Amino acid sequence: MKVHFIGIGGISMSGLANICLNLDYIVSGSDSQENFFTKELANKGATIHIGQSAQNIKPDIDLVIYTAAIHPDNPEWMEAKKQNLKMLSRSEFLGLVMKKYENSIAISGTHGKTTTTSMLSVLYSYSDYDPTILVGGNLKEINGNFRIGNSEHFITEACEYFDSFLDLYPKFGIILNIEADHLDYFDSLDVIIQSFRKFSQNVSSNGYTIANGDDQNVRTALKDLPNCILFGYDKNNDAVIVDNSFDKNGNGHFSIQLDSDILGPFSIKVPGKHNIMNATAAILTAYKDDIPLEKIQHGIFSYHGVDRRFQYKGNYGDVLVYDDYAHHPSEIKATLSAAKFLNPNRLVAIFQPHTYTRTKSLLEEFATSFYDADIVIITDIYASRETDTGLVSSQDLVNRLKAHGKDAIHLNDITELQNYLDPILQKNDIIFTIGAGDVYKLGEQLLLKNMK
């Protein structure tokens, strides 16, 4: 079978392409630029085109798979339509792949999907359940963003953007939280809540929706639906986090009360209250999937983190440099709150806003999300799939931050950044690069300059 991927260099698309190669499909694909994933796929035998052209669409292709970022004016899309080739979106194809697995797990939510997917991936792998995995980050334990297993277990992220997760019909559906996001697609928070309700309705009747009951939006989405297990700190949940504490690094220790049973104790090696919530979702899913408790305890303790999630990058003189993928106000708050466990002298946040739509619609929320940062640097907005219409700028966010009493400035390139930081940095300060774009490169460039 010949399969062509339009946008093959994306983290999810590249994982699906690897699954196709493992099935001995003939794989080709295109992307706007070369990256680690395209090089890896080419080395495995895939035909990779840098740049997208109608010439890349051959008449003998059996299936064309495209990402949500591909629009009908794309030359390969148009040519595939012209040739009347079979076409599926990434999520439609993922849904078909999932149907081959009896025990599939789909992790959804505005935040925490990659971390929780990674926790489950490590837990199932260390418990010898041999899962197939698709994760939206580089997970060291599986040497990348995918794993091909030989069991009925399949673990994947489930993104709500464009209602993509409604193409999935898992045995276990996790909902970590629901907030306003992707407002370039969704008309309102109410529409988002209804979309998550539909996702839960897709969950198999012999499975469960494992969901954050501390989140009122989640409770609204799941009202009166069957087979839902609500978890959190609130005592009105089905599963209640109890006996929780943190060590000096902010790593959590806790148990879970489920009905009359106490599960645990559990320990995790990633900091923050939000990661106890992520771990609880993973633990409850594994427990309801009949994984023995001692294996769950060992598996969740074996998780050490995933790239770009509270990731230590190195030292810039006497200053620690970390990176995090947070790009929504709630994520930023959680990351900076967890960073306080590191006991910094001062916390320096370098934030790259992600998309103009998100920045404009959540401007005030972003302006109040840096409470735990002492110094805030805002870079240019990362456009991603959008174009700048002039409706919002990084300086707008800086102005709102200053209005809330924050020490904030707009800088962008590495020279500006270094010239600003070098005179003011103090021993034991901590720098966090934050955002879903390429802001991590600024931290890496600082570290490279430190080595010279």
CB neighbour list of residue 415: distance below 8 Å, 6 or more residues apart = none
Is residue 115 part of an annotated ligand binding site?
yes
What CA–CA distances, in Å, run from 351 to 163, 240, 306, 399? Answer: 28, 34, 20, 14
Peptide bond into 265 cis (omega under 30): yes
Per-residue pLDDT of the chain (452 residues; tens, 9 = 90+): 999 999 999 889 999 999 999 989 999 999 988 998 999 999 999 999 999 999 999 999 999 999 987 889 999 999 999 999 999 999 999 999 999 999 999 999 999 999 999 999 999 999 989 999 999 888 888 888 899 999 999 999 999 988 999 999 999 999 999 998 888 889 999 999 999 999 999 999 999 999 999 999 999 999 999 999 999 999 999 999 999 999 988 899 999 999 999 999 999 999 889 999 999 999 999 999 999 999 999 999 999 888 778 899 999 989 999 999 898 898 899 899 989 988 899 999 999 999 999 999 999 999 999 999 999 999 999 988 788 888 899 999 999 999 999 999 999 888 899 899 999 999 999 999 999 888 998 889 889 877 55
112 assigned ligand-binding residue:
yes
**11-22 helix and 36-43 helix, angle to the nearest 10 degrees:** 10
User: Is 340 flagged in the annotation as binding?
Assistant: no
Residue 299 known to bind ligand: no
Q: What is the pLDDT of residue 413?
A: 84
CB 381 within 8 Å of CB 353? yes
End-to-end CA distance of the chain: 51
Provide the annotated active-site residues. Answer: 113-114, 157
Q: What are phi and psi of 40, to 5 degrees?
A: -60, -45
**What is the SS3 assignment for 149?**
coil
Walk me through the domains of the chain, giving residue ranges and CATH numbers.
2-90 (3.40.50.720), 99-301 (3.40.1190.10), 311-451 (3.90.190.20)
Tokens encoding 68: 């949500």
